[in-house]
Amino acid sequence: MLTLISIFAIMFNFSLYIQVILPVAFIMSFLFSALSIPPIVKIAKKNNLLVYPNHRDSHKGGIPRLGGLAIFIAIVFSLIFFSGINTVIYFRSILTAIIILFFIGLLDDLDNIISWKKLIWEIIAASLVIFGGNMYFTDLYGFMGIHRLYYIPAVLISILVYISVINAFNLVDGIDGLASGLCIQIGLFFGIFFYISGDNNFAVTTAIVTGATFGFYLFNVYSKQYKIFMGDSGSLVLGFLIGLMVWRFCSLNLVPSNGYHIQAAPAVAMGFLTIPLFDTLRVMTLRIWRKKSPFVADRQHVHHILLDLGFSHAGVRRTLILFNIAMSLLALTLQYYFPSVLFIILILLLICLLFTFMLFKIKEKRKHTNI
C-alpha cells in the first residue's frame, strides 16, 4: 500500500532527475507559452481575430481565442527538445496527433466546423496513438466483471475514452481559468505518480503540458492588456494529452513498478477528472432528454449554474477546482477500502449528483425569493 508518508518521502528524495530535467521541462514549456502570448494577442487584435460576447458569455469586448496556439507552440517545441528522452514510437505518434487536433481546433475557432466532422478528426488522432504507438487500454480492472480485453474491444473502448476526455475538456472550457486550472491540477496528480513510478517519459511529458498550461493560465486569468481565451485549438490538445495520461496511469498499475500500485486505477483516474467527465455526461444527458443535439451549446454546465447563483469567475473557478481536488483525494482513499472500480465510480457519481442537486435547489430558492 502506498501511504501518504511514503509519497512525501519519495517526493523529497531529490534525485538528479527531479532536480534538473523535470524543472527544466516545466520552465521551458512555461516560457514558450508565456512569451508567445503577447505577440499572438497583438496579431489577433490587428486582424480582428476576436470573440465577441453572445447570450452564453459573460466577458465584455472582443478577446482573442488563440491561446491554444501558445499552448501548442510550447508543447511541440518542448517535446522536440526532449525527444531524446522520449522513445521514438511515443514521440512520433503523440506529436502527429497533437498537430491534427490543433489545426482542426484552430479551424473551428476561426470558422465553426460541423460537430461530426470534428469528431471524425478526433477519432483519427486517437487511432494514431492506438495503432501507431500501441497506446490502448487492455484491461478494465474487473469493471462490470471484465478484466483482460480482446484486441477489437480494447481498440473501441480506447477510442471512446480518448474522445470522451477530449470533449470533456472542450466543453468545460467555459470561464476564465477553469479548463486550464483543472489541467494543471490533474497534471500534478498524474505527474507525481509517473515520477514515483519511474516513468521518466511521461513525467517529462506531464511537466511540459503543465508548464505550457500554466503560462496560458496566467494571461487568461490575470492579464488585462493581453487577455486571451484558450479556444478549441487548446482544449482539444490538452484533452487529448490528459487522455494519454489516463491511459498510461492505468497501464502502469496493471504491473506494479517499484512496489507502488493504485488499485482500481480506472476509477481513480476518473476521480482525477471528476468535474470535466461528470459535467459533460450530465449536460449531454439533459440535452438528449430534452430531444436536442448533445453538441448544441447551452448554459446548463455547472459553471453556468454557479455564475447564475452570483459567483464570480474566480469563485466558480476556485469552487470547482477545489471540488475536483477533493474528489481526486477521495478516489485515492476509497481504493484502499473498496477496490471495486464500479463501486468507487458509483460513490463519486452519487456525490456529484448531490452536489448539483444542491446547487439547483439553491438556484430555485433564490429565483422564488426574487419574484
> Does 8 map to a domain?
no
**Residue 62 confidence class, pLDDT cut points 50, 70, 90:** confident
Confirm whether 3 is domain-assigned. no
Tens-place pLDDT, residues 119-130:
999 999 999 999
pLDDT at 309: 85
- The pLDDT confidence band at residue 305, using thresholds 50, 70 and 90, is confident
Nearest alpha-carbon partner for 99 in 66, 132, 72? 72
166-220 pLDDT, tens digit each: 999 999 988 999 999 999 999 999 999 998 888 888 999 999 999 999 999 999 9
Q: Residue 14 pLDDT > 50, yes or no?
A: no
> Strands 50-51 and 146-148: what pairing?
unpaired
Tell me: pLDDT of 366 over 80: no
Whether residue 176 is contained in a domain is answered as: yes
147 CB neighbour count, 10 Å cutoff: 11
- Contact between 236 and 102 (Cβ < 8 Å): yes
From residue 306, alpha-carbon distances to 141, 153, 312, 316 in Å are 35, 39, 8, 6
Residue 6 lies in a domain: no
Rounded Cα gap, residues 181 and 163, in angstroms = 20
Distances in Å between the Cα of 76 and the Cα atoms of 32, 98, 118 are 10, 8, 21
Q: Which residues have C-beta within 8 Å of that of residue 275, sequence separation ≥ 6? A: 172, 182, 302, 320, 321, 323, 324, 327
CA angle 356, 361, 367 (to 5 degrees): 125
Which range is least confidently modeled, 6-10, 31-35, 148-152?
6-10
pLDDT at 40 over 50: yes
Amino acid 88: pLDDT: 46
Query: What is the structure's pLDDT at 61?
Result: 59
Position 270 scores a pLDDT of 93
Helix, strand and coil percent figures for the chain, each rounded to 5: 70, 5, 25
**Res. 159: pLDDT tops 80:** yes
Start-to-end Cα distance in the chain: 55
Q: How far lies 307's CA from each of 218, 229, 299, 319, in Å?
A: 21, 18, 10, 11
What is the tally of structural domains in the chain?
1
Higher pLDDT, 236 or 289: 236
269 occurs within a structural domain: yes
Judge whether residue 13 has pLDDT over 70.
Answer: no
Q: Do 345 and 270 meet the contact criterion of CB atoms below 8 Å apart?
A: yes
Please check whether residue 292 lies inside any domain of the structure.
yes
CA 196 from centre of chain: 21
Note whether residue 34 is domain-resident: yes
Cβ neighbours of 24 (radius 10 Å):
16
Q: How does DSSP assign 285-343, residue by residue?
A: HHHHHTTS-TTS--S-SHHHHHHHTT--HHHHHHHHHHHHHHHHHHHHHHHHH---HHH
CB 348 within 8 A of CB 274: yes
What are phi and psi for residue 176, nearest 5 degrees?
-55, 125
Pick the residue with more confidence: 86 or 133? 133
Tracing cell 475557432 back to the chain, one arrives at 109
Sign of the four-CA dihedral 287, 291, 293, 296? negative
pLDDT in tens, 66-80: 999 999 999 999 988
Contact status, residue 320 vs residue 275, Cβ threshold 8 Å: yes
Domain that holds residue 359: 13-370
Is 168 part of any domain? Answer: yes
Q: Return the residue matching grid coordinates 480492472.
A: 141
pLDDT in tens, 247-295: 999 999 887 665 578 888 999 999 999 999 999 998 888 888 887 777 7
Q: Tell which residue, 70, 77, 74, has the closest CA to residue 39.
A: 70
Beta bridge pairs of residue 193: none
Mean pLDDT of the chain: 86
